[in-house]
Amino acid sequence: MKRKDVRISPYMLIPVIFSGLAFLDILVAYQVMMYVQQHGIETFQALIWIAVGTIVITFICSYVIVSIILKPITRFVRDTENLPVMITQLAQDNSKKKDSTDLENLDKVLEQVTTILGKIEARELFPEFVGQSKTIRGILGQIIKVAPTDTGVLILGESGTGKELAAKGIYERSLRRGRPFVAINCVAIPEGLLESELFGHEKGAFTGAVARKIGKFEAADGGTVFLDEIGDMPPATQAKLLRVLQEKEFERVGGTQTIRVNVRVIAATNKNLPEMIKAGAFREDLYYRLNVFSLTLPPLRERLEDIPLLINHFLKKSGKELTVSHKAMQVILGYDWPGNVRELQNAIERALVIADDSIEPGHLPSEVHSSMCLSISPGGVNEGKPLDERLADIEKGMIIEALTKVGGVQVRAAGVLGINQRSLWHRIKKHQIDVEMTKNLQ
């Protein structure tokens, strides 16, 4: 006979155990009271002994049960604290709060383990993504969830944030992997030719159509179509795309034959589609068809912790043995990067051409190395931001640069910045800086 495994949740098991202990105490107390009445023992004295005995027995039983339940967790925390990757960070945390309790220490260790596992997952599952900040890990988590489905995805974000990279990440982890992945930039193709590119045309459909042409959707049948810059699609083409999304069918330009396709559509734009809808420049029904699941990629200025990693990646990719000076790193972290990762890559590649041994501020584009003055002046790169936000960006950049310089050791970073360690710790929390990201990057 096959043995059945019965699994009970700890959330139910622990309350049941302690409820059983309480019931057992009641039974014991009842039996003792009956014994007292039968043998004529003084009731008050008996009650004291019953109370003391009940408390002691309950405490011993509870301690034994809790010890058994928590033993694996305690062993895990003890072994984890001895790992090299944990020792430095925990030592810094304990120096900031020496009177932490066992529960606080347990919570701290588990939080660090979760962070480290999240970074490992990001690095192992998404090697093409350079960045391990909390924001990026959140995006990668969303990709993991939506990729295996057939849901349409709308990727939003400023120019240069990696929207096509995110689309390929979804495709590579989807059930359609190995089938066609066809990308088309809607703004790079003249308006009159876009419909033909997407859906194909028949011979003689227009001047220059000397032969039948298969469109991108037909070529991607069974796979994925990535429509970049969807906000620049002409209204007439939007209507035909809506039909493809709803009915899974279309006709080639100049043709009458209905062609059915099975494709997944991923779209991307750096434009504000709701505002375009209000202005009549984008179809509302198409927007809701595309926006079944949306991903918003953060601009580079909102994930400054990833900049040192990105720079290291670009340097390794170039094959040149160059470093970035601390002054240059401070300038880079203080710049707003309106072109995001693409602009950063271009700036580093330009500096690599000019620099000999180390990249200095003067090797960076003029708009970058003059950013420290522009960022706090009217009309600068942060124009439109309130003063408090501009100053916060500068402060965050200086803290990350100091942490990078000293390998993430907060005590030394506080000395570099000329503030006490507790003040630095509060500023790190305020700006949500991931200290682990700054280690081993100096």
Mean of pLDDT over the chain: 79
Q: What is the pLDDT of residue 36?
A: 66
Backbone φ and ψ for 265, nearest 5 degrees, come out as -105, 125
Fold of the CATH domain 150-298 = Rossmann fold (3.40.50)
**What's the pLDDT at 211?**
86
The C-alpha atoms of residue 323 and residue 359 are separated, in whole angstroms, by: 6
- Reduced 3-state DSSP string for the chain: CCCCCCCCCHHHHHHHHHHHHHHHHHHHHHHHHHHHHHHCCCHHHHHHHHHHHHHHHHHHHHHHHHHHHHHHHHHHHHHHHCCHHHHHHHHHHHHHCCCCCHHHHHHHHHHHHHHHHHHHHHHHHCCCCCCCCHHHHHHHHHHHHHCCCCCCEEEECCCCCCHHHHHHHHHHCCCCCCCCEEEEECCCCCHHHHHHHHHCECCCCCCCCCCCECCHHHHCCCCEEEEECHHHCCHHHHHHHHHHHHHCEEECECCCCEEECCCEEEEEECCCHHHHHHCCCCCHHHHHHHCCEEEECCCHHHCHHHHHHHHHHHHHHHCCCCEECHHHHHHHHHCCCCCHHHHHHHHHHHHHHHCCCEECHHHCCHHHHCHHHHCCCCCCCCCCCCHHHHHHHHHHHHHHHHHHHCCCCHHHHHHHHCCCHHHHHHHHHHHCCCHHHHCCCC
Instruction: Return the minimum-mean-pLDDT range out of 26-35, 240-249, 419-428.
Output: 26-35
More reliable by pLDDT, 129 or 205? 129
Check residues 114 and 150 and name the one with the higher pLDDT. 150
Q: What is the pLDDT of residues 190-207, one digit of tens each?
A: 887 898 899 988 887 777
Q: What is the CATH number of domain 301-438?
A: 1.10.8.60
Q: Quick check: 289 pLDDT over 80?
A: yes
Least confident of 38-47, 112-121, 161-170, 343-352: 112-121
pLDDT over 50 (residue 134): yes
Average pLDDT of the residues in 380-407: 72
The larger pLDDT score, comparing residue 98 to residue 365, is at: 365
Cα 74–chain centre separation? 30
pLDDT of residue 130: 85
**The pLDDT of residue 399:** 83
Q: Sorting pLDDT into bands at 50, 70 and 90, what band is 319?
A: confident
Which of the four pLDDT bands, split at 50, 70 and 90, describes residue 4? low
Q: Is the pLDDT of residue 104 over 50?
A: yes
Domains in the chain: boundaries: 12-81, 84-125, 150-298, 301-438
pLDDT exceeds cutoff 60 at 45: yes
